[in-house]
Amino acid sequence: RLPPTAVDPLSTDHRPLATDAPPALRLPPTAVDPLATDHRPLATDPPSAYRLPPTAVDPLSTDHRPLATTPSAIVFDRVTYVYPGSIHKALDDVSFVIPAGQHVALAGENGSGKTTIVKLLCRLYHPTEGRILVDGVDLREWDPSALRKRIAVMFQDYARYQLTARENIGFGDLDALGDEALIRAAAGRAGADSVVEALPHGYETRLGKWFEEGVELSTGDWQRVALARAFLRDAAIVILDEPTSSLDAKVEHEVFGRLRQLARDRTAIFISHRMSTARLADCIYVLANGRVVEQGTHDELDALGGAYSTLFRLQAESYR
């Protein structure tokens, strides 16, 4: 049973969405749940497991505007959100504009509202108050299936499929599941190519230990594979929510550097606790207690001497 304000027809709680959001949203209730931390094997025919009956696409609306080819901007207009069953405002009167093609970082401590912004943008929930606009049109009017195809997203709790390395990456775009060149290219962009090529059977090696022949990866290597899955999707909007938390600072900086190159003609939103990574963004929004408290470039916020500057300097000290 769904809470009245929830949009996701697949989840009965509020765990973070997995990296390949659009395929994950097409999982039937009986298939393995990629949103959980306990990832059991999928069915023997993975692509067929990723199909929902038509009625399960979105229970909230029957009249949807098709998504434009390239969103010109993302606008949060006085958005407030309260999770079902809670009285706490996860977001409180949040407003900002992300122009098309801009790379934005969301910064702030845990629980400040960063991931909630991403969930609302992915239309997993509707705002309790306010509006989210894409191309000047309320997000509620866009076709949810088309919208999710246009968004490549990797959340903190990414999926670890007990399938081959090729399938783990290919699920980022099911149409490319059989295209080895595209899968290898995505792996290269994410720095996962060296990981996969070192496996006993390369891209056909089964990952995880649910099966006897499976090979378990380190947390960092799983993250590289999950990043490749996100990079495979040719999306207009790229979102990375703490995707490199298990990578060292140097590797994380390199990954986000690749993201900037890959997303040159796309809108990109990334969340990282490392302020050295946030400084790569065109604009940084700093959140605290569900509100945007600062915004600007790294240099502007550093000169301001506020919350961002304090976090940046504290982290810089810890690396000395």
Return left, alpha or beta for 213; rule: phi > 0 is left, psi -120 to 50 is alpha, else beta: alpha
In this structure, of 17-26, 111-120, 290-299, the range with the lowest mean pLDDT score is 17-26
Asked if residue 141 belongs to a domain, the reply is no
> What is the CATH classification number for the domain harbouring 36?
3.40.50.300
List pLDDT tens digits, range 278-290: 888 899 999 999 9
Mean predicted lDDT score pLDDT of the chain: 77
The pTM assigned to this predicted structure is 0.71
Which structural domain, as residue segments, surrounds residue 180?
A: 21-72+99-120+148-318
State residue 246's pLDDT score. Answer: 56
Q: Side chain identity at 261, as an amino acid letter?
A: Q
pLDDT band at 74 (very low <50, low <70, confident <90, very high): very high
Asked if residue 3 belongs to a domain, the reply is no
Q: 269 or 68, which is more confident?
A: 269
Percent of the chain exceeding pLDDT 90 equals 39
Q: Going along 83-164, which residue ranges are E strands?
A: 89-99, 103-107, 129-134, 137-138, 151-154
| Averaged pLDDT, 91-98 | 96
182 vs 186: CA distance, rounded Å: 6
| Residue 128 φ/ψ, nearest 5 degrees | -65, -40
Residue 25 confidence (pLDDT) above 60: no
Asked if residue 88 belongs to a domain, the reply is no
Residue 299 confidence (pLDDT) above 80: yes
State residue 212's pLDDT score. Answer: 85
| Averaged pLDDT, 12-17 | 36
77: nearest Cα among 88, 60, 62, 93: 93
**Strand order, beta sheet including 237-241:** 151-154, 237-241, 267-271, 103-107, 283-288, 291-296
State residue 76's pLDDT score. Answer: 97
State residue 165's pLDDT score. Answer: 97
State residue 263's pLDDT score. Answer: 66
Say which residues have a Cβ less than 8 Å from residue 37's Cβ, sequence separation at least 6. 157
pLDDT band at 26 (very low <50, low <70, confident <90, very high): very low
State residue 189's pLDDT score. Answer: 84
Contact 17, 136 (CB under 8 A): no
Residue 148 confidence (pLDDT) above 50: yes
Under DSSP, the state recorded for 77 is E
pLDDT band at 180 (very low <50, low <70, confident <90, very high): very high
Asked if residue 225 belongs to a domain, the reply is yes
Residue 84 confidence (pLDDT) above 90: yes
Structural domain count, the chain? 1
State residue 244's pLDDT score. Answer: 57
List pLDDT tens digits, range 191-234: 899 999 999 999 999 999 998 889 999 888 898 898 899 888 87
State residue 8's pLDDT score. Answer: 42
State residue 46's pLDDT score. Answer: 44
List pLDDT tens digits, range 236-262: 888 888 765 556 666 666 666 666 666
Asked if residue 29 belongs to a domain, the reply is yes
Asked if residue 269 belongs to a domain, the reply is yes
pLDDT band at 313 (very low <50, low <70, confident <90, very high): confident
